[in-house]
């Protein structure tokens, strides 16, 4: 165990740092683009339309699979080349909703690394997305007890000092 004077407070992201996450969104996007099957737009153009809806809505809905599902629905309603039927909306909604049910897969060597760091430093897990969705991921990861504190935000957290988190500066943050 590190001495109290050499311990640091480390902020660690969860999604795509500790466990896989983005791959499930990418799979849903590919299935969405297939479902849209637009006759005049390329796959890249449909993806760009979804990206634009996400950029417009991030300040309203935040991050996470529920926000993503709303963005899929809105994009579908904009791009559909046929009358939008309730079963079409239900299918689109299921594409987004199934993300939350995906198994949590730790990235290789994460458990060992976090165990090592927790013995030497105070760790704070900082995530973005719906707080309950993030809480369940943290719980399922099996790493929860290694963190001094966790913070989940619907919006991407900013660095209070305006400095890069890699600058070596430490910014005291309240747990919770």
What pTM was estimated for this model as a whole? Answer: 0.80
Q: Is 122 helix (H, G, I), strand (E, B) or coil?
A: strand
Q: In what order do the strands lie in the sheet with 149-153?
A: 9-13, 122-128, 149-153
Q: Is residue 172 part of a domain?
A: no
DSSP label at 103? P
CATH number at residue 124: 3.40.50.1000
Considering only CA atoms, give the Rg of the chain. 19
Query: Do 91 and 131 lie in a common domain?
Result: no
pLDDT at 1: 59
The predicted structure's pLDDT at residue 58: 92
Residue at 153 is within a domain? yes
pLDDT score at 4: 62
Q: Residues 61, 131: one domain?
A: no
Give per-10-residue mean pLDDT for the chain (176 aa). 76 94 96 98 98 94 93 98 96 96 94 97 91 89 93 62 36 40
pLDDT score at 155: 60
**Listed residue (37, 101, 19) closest to 66, CA to CA:** 101
Last residue of a domain, one of 50, 76, 101: 101
> Containing domain of residue 71, as a range?
22-101
Residue 77 lies in a domain: yes
């Amino acid at each position: 165990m590190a001495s109290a004077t050499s311990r640091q407070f480390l902020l660690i992201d969860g999604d795509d740092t500790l466990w896989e996450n983005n791959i499930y969104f990418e799979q849903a996007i590919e299935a969405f683009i297939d479902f849209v099957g637009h006759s005049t737009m390329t796959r890249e153009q449909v993806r760009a339309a979804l990206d634009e809806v996400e950029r417009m809505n991030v300040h309203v809905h935040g991050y996470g699979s529920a926000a993503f599902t709303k963005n899929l629905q809105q994009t579908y309603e904009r791009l559909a080349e046929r009358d939008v039927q309730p079963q079409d909306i239900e299918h689109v909604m299921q594409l987004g909703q199934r993300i939350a049910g995906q198994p949590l897969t730790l990235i290789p060597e994460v458990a060992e690394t976090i165990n090592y760091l927790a013995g030497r430093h105070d760790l704070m897990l900082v995530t973005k997305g719906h707080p309950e969705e993030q809480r369940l991921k943290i719980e399922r990861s099996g790493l929860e007890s290694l963190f001094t504190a966790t913070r989940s935000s619907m919006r991407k957290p900013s660095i209070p000092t305006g400095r890069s988190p890699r600058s070596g500066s430490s910014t005291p943050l309240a747990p919770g």
